[in-house]
Structure 1
Amino acid sequence: MLRTLSSVSLLIGLHAIAVTANKPPIIQGPITVGTKGHPFSAYAGNISSIGYVEEEFFLSGDAVRYNVVGNLTSDGHWTLSYNSTASYKTRMLIRRPLDHKRFNGDVLVEWINVSGGFDITSTDLPGVYEAGYIWASIDAQATGIEGGATNPQGLIQWDPVRYGTLNIPDDAISYDIVSQAASVLRSGNVTGGQIPEHAILVGASQSGSRVLGYTNGVQPLNGSYDAIIPAICAGASSDFSPVPAHPTPGQSGRTVATNSSGVMDYVRDADGNTKGGIRLPELAVPVAGYNGINNGLSGNTYPFSDSKLNALYPTHQEYVAKVKAAAYASLHEKVILEYQVKNYTRAAEVANVPPQCTSS
């Protein structure tokens, strides 16, 4: 059984019981109402086939806003004090092993990313279930519930019957909502009685930046989490403003590096892919060109032509061998897990590379 994330508990040397200035939130659920028949961002597939169950709960209560004492310095040693409280009601989505013996003792708590104006999760990957984690996501910010200012696509718009009563008045209380989520999960009341030994907070992109802010300011106050993993956030932390996260920042919120010609350049290889960085098999053995900067959050993919694929990979066996070698190289560099080598190899084996003529 994989225990790949257990070592990250060394990142945070605090193991105090999570505390906030408020009473524990009220728990409602599992939630079954609604017009869709399932929660937003439900597991894609038959979750029972992997030995898991998915349940959604609503949490309601009061959460703290914080004052910043002094400056938010670059060393990350921040001091906060309590400001005020506000009432909220939000949701938590949980996936847990049906068999308690499969539970590895750790719960991953994902701070949901709202960069796109709706809930985006990114840490519920196959290895999480293979290793026996409990996975939980928490909506902590107003945008996820209400949607963005233009063309809102939040939970309320998606299923007003299910989510119409949810409310987060401002993002200043998001940090304490996340602290309270840890306390709820540690109680076992929403995990089928399974009591986590460790709670690990994760966040990616926009929520990764808030996780950094949480690490610097809130974690020292209450020690809610045993480990914290910010991802894809380029080292930028969020502040404690009540202003909701904006799906599309204005020009004042952007920093652009330029060269002497005033144009930002990336060095690209012959396939159009950026050089340097971590070279996963998708880039080491490409079947397309990728550009992640010219289409908002989505990027673009430019599939190679049949002639180019035939030139790069004269035989299918050669393509599979290259993908497998690239996967093992990534494993050796410790940027993927062992099970992913098999996944890469299987995907290559069934891929139509190089393109073969098929009868209609």
Structure 2
Amino acid sequence: MIDGPVTGGDHGWAFGRPVVDLAEHGYVEEEFFLSGDATTYRRIEGTGWGRDGRWHAEPKGTQPFTTRMLVYRPADPRRFNGTAVVCWNNVTAGYELFHGETPEILEGGYAFVGATAQRVGVHGFAADPQGLAAWDPQRYGMLDIPADECSYDIFAQVGRAVGADRDTSGVDPLGGLDVRRVIAMGASQSAARLATYVNAIHPLGRVFDGFLLQIYFGAGAPLEGGDRTVSPAAGPGPARLPRGANLLRELDVPVMVVNSELEAIACHGVRQPDTDRFVTWESAGTTHVAVQAQALRNRKYEREFGVAPPLSERMNRIAITPYYDAALHHLNRWAGGGAPAPGQPKIEFAGDEPTVVRDEHGIARGGVRLPQVEAPVATNSSVPVSTDFAGALRGSNRPFTPEQLDALYGDEAGYLARFEAATQRAVEAGVLLPRDAAPAVAEAAAEYRRARAAHRTPIGG
């Protein structure tokens, strides 16, 4: 059952909503509650659960649930491109992280659906709960997800609720839009759950027409149990995350894995070749959370919780959202029957225990070459400044000295000429969309000046 649109509450807005004005982009934002019985699953006795991704699951039981979905859709149906993107909201922080207001979504005419699929999203961690029910009891107090075993079917039910064959006789979350395809998207911990969905649940009945796994560490999540969520309190970062376990199975819909340098390291042991239904991108010089993404998260966190978390100037400074947008653009075409996403070079590794091969500047060789690594003003990498959970995900940024910049580029004009040429190559390779070229160049000019100033005023944080 779907109820909504939901309004009111202690705060008067939906948790995690955009910081941009969606109306200025011609979009409507509405929140809905979804209630029902979620099927839980178990591995079929006697079958493997190995690295080939040929996983076999069967229904185990059902549990009642009530959850929410936050929808952004074009106000004018003529602007709708026919695709609903369903995002598995990430709960690693103890509250939901998701980002559906990217240029590709808003300018491309997609509908975006942020799906609360896991228990932590509603109930938070036991210590200092920041989930929906604690944040706004009046608005979200009736929500309940009893266990993460329910998450796979909850996510599928959200997909069906916005799909082409949805029941529009009652409350329609998409306001009558003519949906032609539904793409599932999840990042980090949510990508692990999507991997399990692809391998074990998707073969039981098709709901989604494509899958986008962002910053995926190369392992699935449990079907049964598995309520212990990876969190900042779990200790050091990637070493505590699930790694090197499973590949995806043979596919009947397209799947893209879109990784930064950090997850390419974790996934090295389970790399699989690109096919006509599967493509992996690995971006050199990037990491799990860059400063641009963290700054946006901080704006939302300050609005929701009243404080601004610290923002480290030493963390990686290569924006990754334009890279994600390019992947979604290709996957949408691919899922609609068009050309597959273009394959890309992989990051270079060497040694018995493979390590990233780096150039004279400390920048990874190979992989997707965004202009910030082709025309660098700093060493951006996944190498962390600190080994705490957050630091391990944020990588590092080490500005070049003025002498290095002069030797490489001569002056700012020379640098920008090189950067613009690198930007054009990225556009031609398909890893950057034309709309993102000018903003990248503008940011590059600011980064050049920041690098020159860094050695006059040491960067802290």
Equivalent residue for 1:286, pick from 365, 372, 376: 376
1:99-120 C-alpha deviation (Å, 9 max, x unpaired):
1000011111111122232212
Contact 2:187 / 2:215 at 8 angstroms: preserved in 1? yes
Q: AA paired with 1:279?
A: R
Contact 2:194 / 2:220 at 8 angstroms: preserved in 1? yes
Equivalent residue for 2:184, pick from 188, 201, 216: 201
Residues 28 and 312 of structure 1: CA distance in aligned 2, closer, same or farther (over 3 Å): farther
CA offset at residue 46 of structure 1?
1.1
Residues 277 and 190 of structure 1: CA distance in aligned 2, closer, same or farther (over 3 Å): same
Contact 1:310 / 1:355 at 8 angstroms: preserved in 2? no
Residues 243 and 328 of structure 1: CA distance in aligned 2, closer, same or farther (over 3 Å): same
Q: Structure 2: how far apart are the matches of 1:110 and 1:252?
A: 24
Tell me the matched-pair count: 332
CA offset at residue 156 of structure 1?
2.9
Greater share of helix: 2
Q: AA paired with 1:134?
A: A
Pairs within 5 Å for 1:165-204:
165-186=142-163, 187=166, 189-204=172-187
Pairs within 5 Å for 1:7-26:
26=1
Q: Structure 1: how far apart are the matches of 2:380 and 2:130?
A: 27
Partner of 2:204: 221
Residues 322 and 158 of structure 1: CA distance in aligned 2, closer, same or farther (over 3 Å): farther
Equivalent residue for 1:317, pick from 401, 406, 413: 413
Across the aligned residues of Structure 1 and Structure 2, the Cα RMSD in angstroms comes to 3.1
- Is 1:59 aligned to residue 43 of structure 2? no
Partner of 1:230: 213
Contact 2:41 / 2:224 at 8 angstroms: preserved in 1? no
Partner of 1:76: 53
Partner of 2:82: 105
Contact 1:313 / 1:354 at 8 angstroms: preserved in 2? no
Residues 170 and 355 of structure 1: CA distance in aligned 2, closer, same or farther (over 3 Å): closer
CA offset at residue 97 of structure 1?
0.4
Q: Which has the higher relative contact order, 1 or 2, with Cα contacts under 8 A spaced 6 or more apart?
A: 1
CA offset at residue 231 of structure 1?
2.3
1:21-69 C-alpha deviation (Å, 9 max, x unpaired):
xxxxx22222222233322221121111111111111112110101211
Residues 307 and 161 of structure 1: CA distance in aligned 2, closer, same or farther (over 3 Å): farther
Residues 354 and 124 of structure 1: CA distance in aligned 2, closer, same or farther (over 3 Å): closer
Equivalent residue for 1:276, pick from 356, 359, 366: 366
Using structure 2 for the length normalisation, give the TM-score.
0.65
Comparing 248-257 with 297-306, which one deviates more in the overlay?
Answer: 248-257
Equivalent residue for 1:33, pick from 2, 5, 8: 8
Equivalent residue for 2:231, pick from 247, 267, 282: 247
CA offset at residue 92 of structure 1?
0.7
CA offset at residue 334 of structure 1?
2.0
Residues 305 and 34 of structure 1: CA distance in aligned 2, closer, same or farther (over 3 Å): farther
Q: Structure 1: how far apart are the matches of 2:15 and 2:392?
A: 23
Q: Structure 1: how far apart are the matches of 2:240 and 2:450?
A: 46
Q: AA paired with 1:288?
A: A
CA offset at residue 254 of structure 1?
5.2
Partner of 1:19: none
Q: AA paired with 2:27?
A: Y
Contact 1:211 / 1:237 at 8 angstroms: preserved in 2? yes
Partner of 2:279: none
- Is 1:45 aligned to residue 29 of structure 2? no
CA offset at residue 342 of structure 1?
2.9
Pairs within 5 Å for 1:78-93:
78-93=55-70
CA offset at residue 75 of structure 1?
2.3
Comparing 154-163 with 299-308, which one deviates more in the overlay?
Answer: 299-308
CA offset at residue 198 of structure 1?
0.7
Q: AA paired with 2:193?
A: R
Q: Structure 2: how far apart are the matches of 1:82 and 1:252?
A: 30
Using structure 1 for the length normalisation, give the TM-score.
0.81
Residues 274 and 116 of structure 1: CA distance in aligned 2, closer, same or farther (over 3 Å): farther
SS in 2 for 1:196: coil
1:255-282 C-alpha deviation (Å, 9 max, x unpaired):
589x9x9998544444443333222122
Q: Structure 2: how far apart are the matches of 1:269 and 1:35?
A: 53
Q: Structure 2: how far apart are the matches of 1:44 and 1:51?
A: 15
Q: Structure 1: how far apart are the matches of 2:20 and 2:451?
A: 29
Q: AA paired with 2:63?
A: A
Residues 270 and 149 of structure 1: CA distance in aligned 2, closer, same or farther (over 3 Å): farther
Q: Structure 1: how far apart are the matches of 2:181 and 2:420?
A: 34
List alignment gaps of at least 5 residues for structure 1: 1-25
- Is 1:298 aligned to residue 394 of structure 2? yes
Q: Structure 1: how far apart are the matches of 2:219 and 2:358?
A: 26
